[in-house]
Structure 1
Amino acid sequence: MDDDLKPASAPRERPTLKTIAFMTGLGITTVSRALKDAPDIGADTKERVRMVARQVGYQPNRAGVRLRTGKTNVIALVLSIDEEIMGFSSQIIFGISEVLSGTPYHVVVTPHAHSKDPMLPVQYILETGSADGVIISRTEPDDPRVRLLAERKMPFATHGRTACGIAHPYHDYDNEAFARDAVERLARRGRKRIALLAPPEKLTYYRHTRDGFIHGLRAHGLNEVPLAINIDASLEEVKHAVQQMMRAADAPDAIISSASSTTIAINAGIEAAGMKVGTDVDLVSKQSVPILNWIVPDLIAATEDFREAGRELASAVIASIEGVSPEKLQSISRPIWSSEA
């Protein structure tokens, strides 16, 4: 028979609960309850069912689940497509996925640009009922998304704190400690004039970072060299601004960076001005994965573990769905300084 005339192979049937029941020798009800982590099903049975489900590629029919239970089994991660490029997105998603892998929930990324209205993705999720819980980042002191989610009683967690008087789940990084400790390390190296590349002023962690920075300057009698841009500037803008600053008569002898991707641009600006990190100027930065010292060997680095943040946020959202008090779902991680720092 001519190849073109051969009948097309039948499409592979979607694995169902019945498929798993057949392969495990269990009843369909037992399989269903095992996948839902029912307390009356033994741990060995749950693991056997989950292993078979993974092997056959079983995915619950979300439309059916929603009709039966009113739930979507979806956690929506509202993620800015402009987030810094040195590992934030992938690491936080890895952390969330690690927690959700043992649950019926799945993470769905809802992208948005931080130059657009941040309310739009949250409003879409609420209007469509497309998630059981929400994770948001880039929090503001009086964040309207937090007010709306709380008002609509949608379980959620924020990457970062707020100051709007609403108790809610969050995970944050101690940016105040990072900036204060960074200044202290620079003071020990004899640096006197320090510039800070800070977050945008509208974000909560700008105030935390500034507070720690100013506290450190005052404690050690050091001076600030103003830097007119923030970490939301393009990498080219950061490089140009640092190059100009380093060529000025009142150039700093140290720079603190609040984001690892901008640190690469800072280093490029320093080199373009004919200077070297570790000799002419010290550079301190946060990093999400420990690779910045490969690029800038004399960098002083503190790790912000975004995978841990993802795990904490996913756990907080699930607990919030289950009715746990928000005051019990708040955590802050400390900077992890490299041994050389």
Structure 2
Amino acid sequence: MDGMRSMVQSGQGPVPGERPTLKTIAFMTGLGVTTVSRALKDAPDISQETKERVRLVATQIGYHPNRAGVRLRTGKTNVISLILNIDEELMGLTSHIVYGISEVLASTNYHLIVTPYRSDRDPMAPVRYIVETGSADGVILSSIEPEDPRVKLLLERNLPFATHGRTELGVPHPYHDFDNEAYAYDAVRKLAERGRRRLAILEPLPRFTFFHHMHAGYLAGLRDFGCERVPFRDATVHDPLQVVYRATMNLLRDHPETDGIISGSSAGAVAISSALAAAGRQVGRDIDMVSKQPADLLRFVRPEVITVNEDIRLAGRELAKAVLGRIEGVAPEQLQSICMPDGRLMFPN
């Protein structure tokens, strides 16, 4: 113990309370700083036994690379920024997409930073900050618009990114998307097969690309299966549950003939189900409903609802792989994927 104390006092060992560094790990393992650094980078000339010993010590003492130092040495931040509209949380997506991204980044040197923003604030602000400060090596965007100005800026600045959703810019870029057009079309089919003919749909805000996809599928389904459109006014999938509840009550008052509803979110489906029950309409008997869900939750809380899984954790994994691929110089056309309602993963190119 006296020897250890004298080594600390002489500057050879770790100082209690200070942030662990490569020198700390070197002192505790008896290795050189260069060897420790190369072991943490998985260098091929370092033995597996040494790598495991170094990683174990690094984990035990809570060592994390100094990002400022890494940036000075390599020009990289080792940061991926996920810019999320807080409406994503209303739809139950946030935790799932973060988990998916983290699963991929766990085996890399990259760290995830989540940057939330509000719909009533400038959505360009977080992207401008990252571009101007160089605070991330790559960006993941959600809530994509057809002519999304954030995507335009990232393309202009050549900063690697991937989008959760597609644009209509005519410029290839990495993305992962759920086929909302196929979802809405198939939802109409499911309801029509149950004899439902007067159908309403809770959709996204029209400014988002996935509204156009979902709406197109809905209209095509109505046409092909001989169903009638019933307008669902005053609410979208982005609204709080009480707003969706009130809008459903208004729908049932103004259009009591409605016998089928499609929901673009599981949270919306819960609010709709509550309104239907309050109005004395029983799902599965008087009316049927189809809803997307990011996790297998509705089956337990609303088993009468027909559900379609949208695997958001898969989306997170695909988005992480896409942005990492772009950082490594992979062509954007090779970093595009679409998840179908039946769970199949499609690659357009």
State the TM-score, normalized to the length of structure 2. Answer: 0.88
Instruction: Pick one of 236, 239, 252 that aligns with 1:233.
Output: 239
2:86 paired with 1:69: no
Give the equivalent residue in structure 2 for 1:3: none
Distance in 1 of aligned mates of 2:148 and 2:108: 30
- 3-state secondary structure, aligned to 2:114: strand
Q: How far apart, in 1, do the equivalents of 2:29 and 2:217 lie?
A: 57
In structure 1, list runs of 5 or more residues that go unmatched: 1-9
Match of 1:224 among 224, 229, 233: 229
1:205 aligns with 2:210: yes
Q: What's the counterpart of residue 94 of structure 1?
A: 99
Alpha-carbon contact 1:182-1:284 (below 8 Å) kept: yes
Select which of 283, 293, 316 maps to 2:299. 293
Aligned mate of 1:33, from 17, 32, 38? 38
* 1:170 pairs with one of 171, 175, 196: 175
User: Conserved in 1, the CA contact under 8 Å of 2:230 and 2:255?
Assistant: no
- Stretches of 4+ aligned residues off by more than 6 angstroms: none
**Aligned-pair RMSD on alpha carbons?**
1.9
What is the deviation of 1:308?
0.8
Structure 1 residue matching 2:80: 3-state secondary structure: strand
Report the Cα distance in structure 2 between the residues aligned to 1:44 and 1:176, rounded to whole angstroms: 52
Residue 321 (structure 2) aligned to one of 304, 315, 319: 315
Indicate whether 1:275 and 2:317 are aligned.
no
Q: 1:332 to 1:52 in 2, by over 3 A?
A: farther
What is the CA–CA distance in structure 2 between the aligned matches of 1:216 and 1:79, rounded to whole Å?
31
**Distance in 2 between the 1:132 and 1:107 partners?**
11
Alpha-carbon separation, structure 2, partners of 1:49 and 1:265: 52
Corresponding pairs, count: 328
- Given residue 105 of structure 2, which amino acid in structure 1 is its aligned partner? L
| 3-state SS in 1 of match to 2:97 | helix
User: What are the within-5 Å matches in structure 2 for residues 1-341 of structure 1?
Assistant: 11-24=16-29, 26-38=31-43, 41=46, 46-85=51-90, 87-228=92-233, 229-336=235-342
Report Cα offsets for 1:264-312 as digits up to 9, x if no partner. Answer: 1111111121111111111111111101122212010111111111111
Residues in 1 aligned to 2:239 and 2:257: alpha-carbon distance in whole angstroms: 20
Cα 1:119/1:39, change in 2 over 3 Å: farther
Q: For 1:332, what is the secondary structure of its paired residue?
A: strand
Percent same amino acid among aligned pairs? 59
Distance in 2 separating the partners of 1:317 and 1:233: 30
Q: Distance in 2 between matches of 1:85 and 1:25?
A: 51
Structure 2 distance, partners of 1:184, 1:33, is: 58
Q: Deviations 1:19-60 (Å, cap 9, x if unpaired)?
A: 334455544323323333445556665455434322321101
Contact between 1:247 and 1:273, CA under 8 Å: does it hold in 2?
no
Is 1:84–1:259's contact at 8 Å kept on the other side of the alignment?
A: no
